Amino acid sequence: MTRFLLKRIGQAVVVIFFVTVIVFLLLHSVPGGPAHGILGPKASPQAIAEFNREHGFDKSLVQQYWAYLNELFHGDLGESYTLNQSVASLIGQRIPKTLVLTGLSTLVALAVAIPLGVWQARRRKGLADYAVTTVVFVGYATPVFFLALVLVIVFTQKTQLLPPQAPQTQSIAGLFADSRALILPVLAGAIATIAAFSRYMRSAVLDNLAEDYVRTARAKGASERRVVWLHIMRNSLTPIVAMLGYYLPVLFSGALVIESVFNYPGMGLLFWNAAQTSDYPILLGAVLVIALATVIGSLLADIVQALIDPRVRGTIK
Amino acid sequence: MSLSAPVAAEPQPVRVAGSYRRMATLFFANRLAVTGLVILAALLVFCFLGPLIHHTDQTHTNLSAANLSPGTGGHLLGTDDVGHDVLGRLMIGGQTSLEIGVAAGLLATLIGTVWGAISGYAGGWLDALMMRVVDAGIAIPALFLLLVTATILRPTVGVQILIIGCVSWLVPARLVRAEALSLRSRDYVQAMKAMGGSHRRAVFRHIIPNAIGTVVVNATFQVADAILLIAYVSFLGLGVPPPKTDWGGMLSKGISYTYDGYWWLIFPAGVAIVLVVCAFNAIGDGLRDSFEVRLEGR
């Protein structure tokens, strides 16, 4: 187990190194470089040269990368070109709201997808299974923005049941205070992931149904209900845990789209606005934070999986 | 051994041809896959042959005919906010979506296949290093990367193809690497190397051709994903510049008129995206099933 942990953490560190290299190179290929961003596009060549010398942008690529890494270690992601604020504090303000959005949508999605997957697996190749599979198939192909628009049309334009815009607030408490406005963004995020989650759950349950322990439990006289909802369900959750870790990039991409549709004040909206104004420090700071979250997320998912599943633990060397 | 070898060698080509025919039979017996193929064919005809029958002006704006509802003035699906006929726009928008999707999907498959085959065949530290690069790429969501590059480069069709191809090759790389790991220890690869064959020959003549099932199946899913990705980028306002458009871009313009009830600016493009992605996924599923059965027959 210790060897597995060390190896897995070592891998994650190498991955993070590559991520910082990619982000650094992107930052470096920005047209005009940081001097243009901060001094403005009409800055004189002398001012640009002065700025570059002052900030070390005239040094070699390796030296610059080293300086960049050093800043990262101190939590410095640079200054926004347009918002007069440090990128770290901007992201720090926005990320909790994005986590609330993705967290709630994921919880709703799991609450629907897990029972749905179990239910489907038990009716495998039945009419109900085919019907749900078809819906899931179409759901999987539907872009989140189209889904969000359909929700807006149905719930705000046609029926006026729900507000079309997410809560506009600075605080987390404010988000929950205006919970009616939270429903549509959360719903859009949830529906978008239910398709994939229920598909995973269905196949995990199907795999488990064929296992020996299921036959043993049945032979010992356990009720079908107990076998399915206690034994199979618990064992089928392991792949779901692993999948959640690797699903983080998809969840963040979904948040980007949903936040821009519903004007939800999270990191996705910050990123989208930064893309409109070419605010590269924000863009690449956000990319870095998301990539780090994903690497750490999948590392944790692997460790949790090894902890809760003795079979996985057994195969680890 | 020496006697039986030529006898065994003889029926080989027949069996291969037979297994492909069997695969085709299986594919066409799969109702979902055939439905996907029919939908895709219909969409291709609609987008590429449609403009030959349904002539519309998609370059010049005509504000006096803006936002007409379907059926008025001979516009079957109405017009958009600058007076373009929506039906005609759906056709040329579809051309962009399909061109970018197919080209980028194939490019991604190509890069991923070569990367994965080399990585799996090499093994050891090179494999570990190459796979960590893949992990790093997977950790950065393609959509975010695409938006960043779209602000650096002007997003023409060619640029979009290149960028989407270069950010979405990671999944095929992983899949092909897994195949290559098992293929490299096969007897025929070992025999070829013993006879002095080069690494390049091993990768391109033995590993990749034998992983072709995985590659082909994955390519269809890659195209579906690329079409979705381009729709997302365009929806977020960083797609191909006007007067060109694609389905995601059409929807993005339609969002401003949600409250005016101009449904024809939203639903046709949205449904078209869902249809084409469903079609490619269905074809991929069908191909995967028939490849699996073919391999079982071996």
DSSP state of A165: S
User: In B, which residues are within 8 Å of A284 by CB distance?
Assistant: 148
CA distance A52 to A271: 26
Over chain A (317 residues), the average pLDDT of each successive run of 10 is: 82 88 82 67 76 73 82 80 83 89 92 89 83 86 89 82 75 74 88 86 84 85 83 82 82 89 88 85 88 88 78 59
pLDDT value at B13 more than 70: no
B298 pLDDT band, cuts 50/70/90, is very low
Residues in Cβ contact with A25 at an 8 Å cutoff, skipping those fewer than 6 apart: none
Chain B CB contacts of A256 under 8 Å are 143-144, 236
- Other CB atoms within 10 A of residue B265 CB: 26
Closest by Cα among A251, A72, A269 to A168: A269
Mean pLDDT (whole number) for B268-276: 90
The Cβ of residue B239 has, within 10 Å, a number of other Cβ atoms equal to: 28
- Write out pLDDT tens, residues B149-197: 888 887 888 888 998 898 889 988 988 888 888 888 887 878 887 888 7
Measure the CA–CA gap between B137 and A20, rounded to whole angstroms: 11
% of chain B at pLDDT higher than 90: 15
Distance CA A48, CA B284 (A): 53
Confidence (pLDDT) at A108 = 94
Give the pLDDT confidence score for residue A149 in this predicted structure. 87
CA-based end-to-end distance of chain B: 21
- Locate all alpha helices (DSSP H) within A80-211, ordered by sequence: 87-122, 127-141, 144-152, 172-177, 179-209
Residues 6+ apart with CB under 8 A from A61: A28
Task: Say if residues A110 and B199 touch (Cβ distance below 8 Å).
Answer: no
Q: How far apart are CA B172 and CA B164, in angstroms?
A: 14
DSSP track, B100-115: HHHHHHHHHHHHHHHH
d(CA A157, CA A152): 7
A92 Cβ under 8 Å from any chain B Cβ:
no
Query: Which residues of chain A neighbour B263 with C-beta distances below 8 Å?
Result: 153
Neighbours of A262 (CB within 10 A): 25
**Chain B contact present for A304, CB below 8 A:** no
In the stretch 39-58 of chain B, residues with CB closer than 8 A to chain A read: none
Inform me whether the C-beta atom of residue B266 falls under 8 Å from chain A C-beta atoms. Answer: yes
Whether cis (ω within 30° of 0) applies to the bond prior to B243 is yes
What ipTM did this prediction achieve?
Answer: 0.83
Q: Which of B264, B36, B164, B42 is nearest to A141 (CA)?
A: B36
Return the SS3 of A79. strand
pTM: 0.85
For residue A314, what pLDDT is reported?
A: 60
Q: The tokens of A116 are what? A: 């749905």
d(CA A274, CA B65): 35
B239 near B246, Cβ under 8 Å? yes
List Cα–Cα distances, A127 to A131, A132, A200, B279, B281, in angstroms: 6, 9, 19, 22, 21
Cβ–Cβ < 8 Å for A157, A267: no
Whether A10 has its CB under 8 Å from any CB of chain B: the answer is no
Q: For residue A79, give both structure tokens.
A: 């200054």
Which sign does the torsion angle of CA B123, B124, B126, B127 carry? positive
Report pLDDT digits (tens) over B213-229: 888 888 999 999 999 99
- C-alpha–C-alpha distance, residues A268 and B141, integer Å: 12
The answer to whether residue B102 scores a pLDDT higher than 90 is yes
pLDDT of residue A210: 80
Interface test mutation site (partner B, options A91, A146, A252, A257, max chain B beta carbons within 10 A): A146
Q: What is the dihedral of CA B162, B164, B168, B172, to 10 degrees?
A: -50
Residue of A nearest to B251 (CA): A146
pLDDT band at B107 (very low <50, low <70, confident <90, very high): very high
Residue B3 burial (CB count, 10 A): 6
Q: State the Cα–Cα distance between residues A23 and A17, nearest whole angstrom.
A: 10
Q: Are A254 and A313 in contact (CB under 8 A)?
A: no
Question: Hey, which residues 169-208 in chain A have their CB within 8 Å of chain B?
Answer: none
Q: pLDDT by residue (tens digit) across B43-73? A: 999 888 888 887 777 777 777 766 777 777 7
Q: How many whole angstroms separate alpha carbon A31 and alpha carbon A22?
A: 16
Calpha distance B159→B177 (Å, rounded): 28
Looking at residue B265, what is its pLDDT?
A: 80
